[in-house]
Amino acid sequence: MGNGILVICEHDGGSFKKTAFELLGKANDLASGNVSALVVGAADGASLGAHGASKVYTVAGDGFGGNDVASMVAAVQAAIAAADPAVVLASASPQAKAYLPRLAARLGLGLGAECTDLRAEGGAIVGRRPMYAGKAFADVNISSSPAIFTVRPNSFPVTAGAGGAAEVVDVAAAAPELVARIVGREDASSSVADLTEADRIVSGGRSVKSAENYDSVIRPLAASIGATPGASRAAVDAGYAPHSHQVGQTGKVVNPSLYVAMGISGAIQHLAGMRTSRVIVAVNTDAEAAIFQHATYGIVGDLFAVGPLLQQELEALD
């Protein structure tokens, strides 16, 4: 039976993702200081002490730090053996979704996915998560040790760190021989966060009417606050935005602090992807549109009039 919480801290070429800080902060609330971190690949592990990790396990060297699944499984397996935690936390990121189920199957562990909250109860950690696209919620109880939970990005605030530098422990792991190989990458020219991790999203719907309008109204509005542009399926199917931008049941499930829906009716399949957003803004010409029932702030108006004004106002912010 292990103890403490091990947080898998993801980074992009050395800079830690916001989710790493969110999870470390929450882990500290739950395990009062008994928190360690795992960093795979080259990044400044010691700096995670400021966010509450007392020990940082690092797996680096040849074969580690890339995106391939077999190496990540080997790295996390080695870290679990070294840290012997009661609980492992990770972001519900596309990467974690690829390697954690494999790891859970290899070690015979319970994996609770897509939690939006965690609490300590009776000496265990219990998750809470949306089910059926947020139409219901349930507790997630895991009986294995360690128990593994993945948490949706932006579920917890990032708290200012107080700790000093963490102790860094290098973990030796053998890089496996790869059967499936990443042979290429086709990069989009985007520098914003992926929809699933974005803290702010501005989406456009069918009423945007054309790809040109999407590019001249939705994208610049999003850019004015560093938001990731999104779209409804109707907008994607009409070719205004690529499928990677689709939010909803057959697109991406998102969990930002701010979601702005421009000319989106609020169909149940769209809500399925964004209803857990903390603040929802809706702009729609139809005062009866379903989206207004879920909006924190609503404006009945034309997106082509409101959009540019809003952009101006946001660009003027300091």
Ligand X SMILES: Cc1cc2nc3c(=O)[nH]c(=O)nc-3n(C[C@H](O)[C@H](O)[C@H](O)COP(=O)(O)OP(=O)(O)OC[C@H]3O[C@@H](n4cnc5c(N)ncnc54)[C@H](O)[C@@H]3O)c2cc1C
Asked if 72 touches other proteins (CB under 8 A), the answer is no
The span from the CA of 97 to the CA of 72, in Å, is 11
Among 79, 111, 201, 274, binds other proteins (CB under 8 A): 111
Asked if 25 touches ligand X (CB under 6 A), the answer is no
Q: Which does 168 bind (CB under 5 to 8 A by kind): ligand X, other proteins, none?
A: none
The span from the CA of 231 to the CA of 208, in Å, is 10
Contact code string over 259-298 relative to other proteins, x by CB under 8 A: --------xxx--x--x--xxxx-----x----xxxxxxx
The span from the CA of 219 to the CA of 298, in Å, is 20
Among 72, 115, 303, 310, binds ligand X (CB under 6 A): 303
Question: Least Å distance between CB 141 and other proteins?
Answer: 5
Contact code string over 242-261 relative to ligand X, x by CB under 6 A: ----xxxxxx----------
The span from the CA of 204 to the CA of 224, in Å, is 15
Q: Report yes or no: 130 and 70 within 8 Å, Cβ to Cβ.
A: no
297-300/279-284 β-pairing = parallel
Question: Least Å distance between CB 43 and ligand X?
Answer: 34
Which of these ranges, 46-54, 80-88, 160-168, 175-183, lies near other proteins under the rule CB under 8 A? 175-183
Show the tokens assigned to 10. 């993801």
87-91/147-151 β-pairing = parallel
Contact code string over 82-101 relative to other proteins, x by CB under 8 A: -----------xx--xxxxx
The span from the CA of 232 to the CA of 136, in Å, is 22
Asked if 108 touches other proteins (CB under 8 A), the answer is yes
The span from the CA of 19 to the CA of 24, in Å, is 8
Distances (CA, A) of 245 to 150, 195, 242: 23, 7, 6
Asked if 282 touches ligand X (CB under 6 A), the answer is no
**Residues that bind ligand X in the complex, under the rule CB under 6 A:** 205-207, 232-235, 246-251, 263-265, 267, 269-270, 273, 283-286, 289, 302-304
